Structure 1
Amino acid sequence: MNPCLKDLLDQLDLETLEVNLFRGVSRDLGGRSVFGGQVVGQALVAATRTVEGRIPHSLHAYFLLPGDMEAPIVYEVDRIRDGKSFSARRIQAIQHGRPILSMIASFHVPEPGLEHAVPMPDVPPPESLKSISELKRDWFDSVPEVHPRIVESLDRPVAVEFRPVYPWNPLKPVRTEPRQAIWFKVTDPVPDDANLHRCLLAYASDFNLIGTALRPHDRSWFSPDMIVASLDHAVWFHREGRVDDWLLYAMESPSSQAARGMTRGQIFSRDGTLLASVAQEGLMRQVPEGDKR
């Protein structure tokens, strides 16, 4: 198994400290703090370990403080409701005595019901597209000098492979529509555990969203005059899916204002089945170049 994927699976296998209390570790993905998708995925793992016979159908999270990559994260689960059909859990991710994330997850007893879903966008298959690891060489060649931190961030191996349908150079951003589509999957097969696939989907759903809101402003995560960070994150799980098969993430940003950008996305299986919907608002603060404090 790819070492990065094995490491991610280990991160999601939280240590149980006490009833409703769990501990996880972090990995440096090249950012300034803990990757938000990691904290959301671990929080969902903690919640699922306190529920039986019900599956998560939604989560709503707020990122409160940047996470310290060198310190463990303690997850405290509050069993706030167990009804006949639904259960709700409040999860606090804590570092250095302070919450860095607060999340509520809702669980539902599986039952039949009316069904409809929007169709998947008509896009080229993933096999016809270049991966980010292939594209980044062209990105580096397009810019005379790239800050070593950016090179390290883009060169850092990750557990998820991404193949953008509409490639866009984040080192040399140009103004374009606030939408994108990216095929993604984890790099190797993972166990047949539905909850694990949901937690991995929640993890991967935090990649690329706010970048969509930056596109019409010819800015990216790497623009020296921008401070960019996720503020909140919500996922609705509609149907079962596997993250070790290709999934399409179709994203759009309906609005940005007051230094915040709103983005929403839909995740489809390769056969066109809508698996999940995602929404996120992020900080997009423009500052004097080099004044990121």
Structure 2
Amino acid sequence: MTEAERVLLDLLTIERLEVDLFRGTGSGGETPTRIFGGQVIAQALAAAYRTVEGRPCHSLHAYFIRAGDPSIPVIYQVDRARDGGSLTTRRVVAIQHGKQILNMSASFHVQDEGWDHQHVMPHTKAPEFHPAREELRNKYVDLVPEKLRGGLLRERPIEVREVDHLNPFTPQKTDDRNQIWFRMKAAADVDQITQHLILAYASDMYLMSSGMRPHGLSWFTGEVNGASLDHALWFHAPVQLKNWHLYSMDSPWSGQGRNFNRGSVYSEDGTLVASVAQEGLMRKARRKP
């Protein structure tokens, strides 16, 4: 297990303070300056799972309210909204400095009999045909101010291979469709609940950048003031994230300073394991005089 993988698994192990009150670590995710959105979602889901027995989560819907402060812990307060015959509902509020930074509803469902269908996984080359995230970032390190290079190059827990990589410093206008392969080898030793938490974390990666592709933008161009506004995730099938998964994303709309993005997560054998939707701010950055 790498140090980055260990840190992520530690982040997902939250502390119970009271019956429905939990505490999670703020630092250690994808971004050093503010808490990565996927980290808060994953910890909020972990808190909800600690109040549910025998039912897997089938969906969650979250709103990002304030940027998270990585220098302090996050408090998660769970409201047991409903325990029904086949469905359980939880509401989770994430708090820092006495204010909400995220609120989330999550629903848990017994495994019922039904009818099955799914869209076919898009055809794309296998992960080994695409460069690793670390290889790409090393390629651009000289274009980043020296004080920021450590953050760019530090080890990440999720292994990523971009299918259609764009130069983040000089991105060309292109199709909104955006695909990555991802996996976490240390997930081989975790249970299905933790698999859900890791997937919730990973589902916030690369998604919002889909809406930037048609405009020739990226987080590195300095033209965009952006942040995730909300995030929805539906779990369809069991996941084993030690194996490669294809995250196929697109952005059917942007306007009024926002963009809308969707994603489908497929296991390597073509099973649709999860669906994602997110809206984010995509405003023009104000130039300093």
TM-score interval (norm. to shorter) = over 0.9
Matched residue SS, 1:123 = coil
1:194-273 counterparts in 2 under 5 A? 194-273=192-271
- Report if aligned partners of 1:75, 1:94 keep a CA contact under 8 Å in 2: yes
Give per-residue Cα distances to partners, 1:212-262, cap 9 Å, x unaligned.
100111111122121111110000000001111100000000000011010
Give the AA of the match of 2:131: K
The corresponding residue for 1:138 is: 139
Cα distance in 2, alignment partners of residues 129 and 146 from structure 1: 23
Contact residue 27 and residue 72 of structure 2 kept, 8 A: no
User: For 1:17-36, what aligned pairs fall within 5 Å after superposition?
Assistant: 17-28=17-28, 29-36=30-37
2:2 aligned with 1:2, yes or no?
yes
User: Does the residue aligned with 2:222 lie in a helix, a strand or coil?
Assistant: coil
Structure 2: how far apart are the matches of 1:151 and 1:25? 24
Who is 1:15 aligned against? Answer: 15
Matched residue, 1:163: 161
Please give the alpha-carbon distance, in whole angstroms, between the structure 2 residues aligned to 1:44 and 1:116. Answer: 27
4+ aligned runs moved over 6 Å, structure 1: none
Matched to 1:179, the amino acid is R
Contact 2:77 2:94 in 1 (8 A): yes
Q: Residue 74 of structure 2 corresponds to which residue in structure 1?
A: 73
The residue that corresponds to 1:118 in the other structure is 119
Deviation at 1:111, TM superposition (A): 1.6
1:278 aligned to 2:273? no
Q: How does 1:169-208 map to 2 (within 5 A)?
A: 169-208=167-206
Matched letter for residue 37 of structure 1: G
Counterpart residue number, 1:101: 102
Counterparts in 2 of 1:192 and 1:137: CA distance versus 1, 3 Å:
closer
For 1:141-180, what per-residue CA distance to the aligned partner results, in whole angstroms no more than 9, with x for missing partners? Answer: 6xxx423455333212110011011111112211111111
Mean alpha-carbon deviation: is it higher for 244-253 or for 146-155?
A: 146-155
Any stretches of 5+ residues in structure 2 without a counterpart?
A: none
Preserved contact between residue 185 and residue 241 of structure 2 (Cα < 8 Å): no
Give aligned-pair identity as a percent.
46
* TM-fit CA distance, 1:31: 4.7
Could you tell me how far 1:202 is from its partner in structure 2? 0.4
| TM norm structure 1 | 0.95
CA distance in 1, matches of 2:147, 2:230: 26
With over 3 angstroms needed to count, the CA separation of the structure-2 counterparts of 1:81 and 1:189, relative to structure 1, is: closer
Gaps of 5+ in 1: none
How many residues end up aligned between the 2 structures?
288
Aligned partners of 2:233 and 2:187: how far apart in 1? Answer: 23
Local SS of the residue matching 2:61: strand
Counterpart amino acid of residue 92 in structure 2: I
Distance 1:155 1:290, change over 3 A: farther
Render the CA deviation track for 1:116-147: whole Å, top value 9, x for unaligned. Answer: 00000000001121111112233346xxx423
Once the two structures are superposed, residues 17-39 of structure 1 have per-residue CA deviations (whole angstroms, 9 ceiling, x without a partner) of 00011000022433531000000
Q: Is the 8 A contact 1:75 1:93 kept in 2?
A: yes
| Paired residue type of 2:4 | C
The amino acid across from 1:168 in the alignment is L
> C-alpha deviations, 1:23-74, integer Å up to 9, x for none?
0002243353100000000000000110011110000000000000001100
Asked if the contact 2:61–2:106 (Cα under 8 Å) also holds between the matched residues in 1, the reply is: yes
Does the Cα contact within 8 Å between 2:185 and 2:243 map onto a contact in 1? Answer: no
For residues 19 and 188 of structure 2, the distance between their equivalents in structure 1, rounded to whole angstroms, comes to 27
CA distance in 2, matches of 1:20, 1:52: 14
Q: Check 1:150–1:289 CA distance in 2 against 1; reply closer, same or farther (3 A cut).
A: farther
- Partner of 1:39: helix, strand, or coil? helix
Q: Which residue of 1 aligns with 2:38?
A: 37
